């Protein structure tokens, strides 16, 4: 993943480009570089077109998905890595080129996925491949307290998902002999057509009319699952959440999503992290911020306070003459770093002091204070920075 180009740069748009501008940029690249347009070119040209189109499609698949875009904007490539191969299912070519556009047909996603799997062009020769039904991914979210995030936690997440039918073993029929490969499409679920379009000659794939795209012929469908091979079930999945995760991050639990029909591969469970607000800490990355209000006498005379931590509390010395707004740093008392992401070291805990001025005074207190009103030590010290600033301003007159 090293040296991956910035997605905005790939599409040639600015970081604050609108969804329409992103779409228009991708359309331009597609019109020029779609490999279907370069089928009759030299190997070198074909390779170049494939590379450019591939890169642009990956960029568009992220930037056109608000969820992924937000993550990419925040964390860069690190925010969306580890989610497996790019997913192009959200690229809607009808939406980009307008309805009535028939250039790429239904095989486009397979086409792109083949391309990323390194099997570009595999379809054109040899036997059609039997269709495999991968189960869909499931998205869910977990709410975590800062304490849980600081320690790392194992959470039970309840989801409803497709599981292989227990009555037919996921086959779709009681007897294995009742399930046969569609003779019409040889199990691929698709019919191939050669057609002419704005890109020249193109190959389109349409759903097999014989089997409805399943690639199968099932004689006595299982009554429990209706022949689909899957049933819905509510299950509890244990999700290991490492210490140091942040709000908006997504964890992948491989193969904990829906089971594929007819024993197809399982999808993943995607868990979005939601951080609950903390009663007194504000988190910024690995650092924590805490505000403590001192009485005016404690600020003047000094004292010792207790700062609550996430797993133990800390004693902090307040120096005599502590100013309102001053900050002390407790090194290493912040959040743990997330491994391989923000570094493994801990962040810091910042304690900010505010001084509370009493609103009501007894006559006695008032008298004492009146007596001190003109004391030298009660006069605020001039702010050096401001004085320098005034000197500079004077020079300009
Ligand atoms: Zn068929
Ligand atoms: Zn069944």
Report pLDDT digits (tens) over 297-342.
Answer: 999 999 999 999 888 899 999 999 999 999 999 999 999 988 766 5
- Among 154, 158, 162, smallest CA distance to 141 is for 158
Q: Which ligand is nearest to the CA of 206?
A: 1
Q: Is the pLDDT of residue 346 over 70?
A: yes
Percentage, residues of the chain above pLDDT 70: 81
Provide the 8-state DSSP code for 105.
G
Q: Is the pLDDT of residue 163 over 70?
A: yes
The string of DSSP letters for 242-271 reads: -TT--TT-EEEETT-SPPBGGGBPP--EEE
Q: Does domain 1-126 have CATH number 1.10.287.110?
A: yes
Q: Which ligand is nearest to the CA of 229?
A: 2
| Ligand 2: centre distance to CA 223 (Å) | 6
User: Average of pLDDT values for 143-161?
Assistant: 96
Token pair, residue 67, equals 């969820």
Predicted confidence (pLDDT) per residue in 171-188, tens digit: 999 998 999 999 988 898
Max mean pLDDT among 2-11, 92-101, 369-378 falls in: 369-378
Q: What's the confidence (pLDDT) of residue 125?
A: 45
- Among 392, 70, 22, 33, smallest CA distance to 246 is for 70
Q: Which ligand is nearest to the CA of 210?
A: 1
| Ligand 2: centre distance to CA 346 (Å) | 52
SS3 157: strand
| Ligand 2: centre distance to CA 221 (Å) | 7
Segment 318-326 long-range contacts (CB within 8 Å, at least 24 positions apart): 318/294, 318/353, 322/294, 322/353, 322/355, 323/299, 323/353, 323/355, 324/299, 324/353, 324/354, 324/355, 325/352, 325/353, 325/354, 326/352, 326/353
User: Average of pLDDT values for 28-57?
Assistant: 82
Distances in whole angstroms, Cα of residue 311 to Cα of each of 146, 308, 328, 330, 352: 10, 8, 20, 14, 20
Q: Is the pLDDT of residue 16 over 60?
A: yes
Domains 1-126 and 282-363 equal at CATH topology level = no
pLDDT category of residue 1 using cuts at 50, 70 and 90: very low
385 phi-psi bin (left φ>0, alpha ψ -120 to 50, beta other): alpha
Q: How many angstroms separate the most distant Cα atoms in the chain?
A: 104
Q: Which ligand is nearest to the CA of 212?
A: 1
Q: Is the pLDDT of residue 384 over 60?
A: no
User: Average of pLDDT values for 344-349?
Assistant: 86
| Ligand 1: centre distance to CA 310 (Å) | 60
| Ligand 1: centre distance to CA 268 (Å) | 28
Q: Is the pLDDT of residue 140 over 70?
A: yes
Q: What's the confidence (pLDDT) of residue 383?
A: 62
pLDDT category of residue 159 using cuts at 50, 70 and 90: very high
Q: Is the pLDDT of residue 102 over 60?
A: no
**Residue 169 near residue 222 (C-beta atoms within 8 A):** no
Using a 10 angstrom Cβ sphere, with 0-12 exposed, 13-18 middle and 19 or more buried, the burial of residue 389 is exposed
Token pair, residue 392, equals 């500079």
Q: Where are the domains of the chain?
A: 1-126, 282-363
List all residues 6 or more positions away from 302 whose beta carbon is below 8 Å from its beta carbon.
317, 318, 319, 320, 321, 322
Q: What's the confidence (pLDDT) of residue 76?
A: 83
Q: What's the confidence (pLDDT) of residue 123?
A: 41
119 or 243: which leads in pLDDT: 243
pLDDT category of residue 103 using cuts at 50, 70 and 90: very low
Q: What's the confidence (pLDDT) of residue 271?
A: 97
Q: What's the confidence (pLDDT) of residue 340?
A: 61
User: Average of pLDDT values for 237-247?
Assistant: 95
Predicted confidence (pLDDT) per residue in 279-296, tens digit: 999 999 999 999 999 999
Domain 282-363 class, CATH top level: mainly beta
User: Average of pLDDT values for 217-232?
Assistant: 94
| Ligand 1: centre distance to CA 155 (Å) | 43
**Residue 36 near residue 200 (C-beta atoms within 8 A):** yes
List all residues 6 or more positions away from 88 whose beta carbon is below 8 Å from its beta carbon.
57, 61, 108, 109, 112, 113
């Amino acid at each position: 993943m090293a040296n991956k180009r910035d997605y905005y740069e790939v599409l040639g748009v600015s970081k604050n480009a609108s969804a329409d501008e992103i779409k228009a940029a991708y359309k331009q690249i597609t019109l020029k570089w779609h490999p279907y347009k370069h089928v009759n070119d030299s190997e070198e040209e074909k390779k170049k077109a494939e590379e450019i189109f591939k890169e642009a499609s990956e960029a568009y698949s992220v930037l056109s998905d608000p969820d992924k875009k937000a993550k990419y904007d925040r964390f860069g490539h690190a925010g969306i890595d580890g989610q497996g191969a790019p997913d192009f299912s959200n690229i809607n070519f009808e939406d980009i080129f307008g309805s009535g556009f028939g250039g790429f047909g239904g095989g486009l996603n397979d086409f792109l996925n083949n391309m990323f799997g390194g099997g570009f062009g595999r379809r054109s020769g040899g036997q059609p491949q039997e269709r495999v039904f991968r189960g869909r991914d499931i998205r869910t979210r977990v709410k975590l307290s800062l304490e849980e995030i600081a320690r790392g936690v194992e959470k039970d997440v309840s989801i409803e998902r497709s599981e292989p039918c227990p009555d037919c073993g996921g086959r779709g029929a009681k007897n294995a002999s009742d399930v046969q490969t569609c003779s019409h499409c040889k199990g691929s679920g698709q019919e191939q057509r050669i057609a002419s379009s704005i890109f020249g000659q193109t190959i389109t794939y349409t759903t097999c009319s014989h089997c409805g795209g399943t690639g199968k012929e099932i004689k006595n469908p299982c009554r429990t699952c209706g022949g689909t091979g899957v049933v819905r079930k509510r299950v509890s999945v244990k999700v290991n959440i490492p210490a140091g995760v942040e709000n908006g991050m997504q964890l992948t639990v491989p193969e904990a999503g829906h089971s594929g029909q007819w024993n197809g591969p399982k999808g993943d469970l995607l868990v979005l992290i939601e951080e609950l607000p903390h009663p007194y800490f504000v988190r910024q990355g690995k650092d924590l911020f805490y505000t403590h209000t001192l009485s005016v006498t404690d600020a003047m005379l000094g004292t010792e306070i207790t700062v609550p931590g996430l797993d133990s509390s800390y004693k902090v010395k307040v120096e005599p003459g502590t100013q309102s707004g001053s900050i002390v740093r407790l090194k290493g008392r912040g959040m743990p770093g997330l491994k391989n992401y923000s570094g493994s070291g801990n962040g810091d805990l910042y304690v900010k002091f505010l001084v509370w001025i009493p609103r009501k005074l007894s006559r006695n207190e008032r008298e004492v204070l009146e007596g001190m009103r003109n004391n030298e030590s009660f006069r605020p010290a001039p702010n050096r920075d401001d004085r320098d600033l005034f000197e500079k301003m004077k020079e300009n007159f």
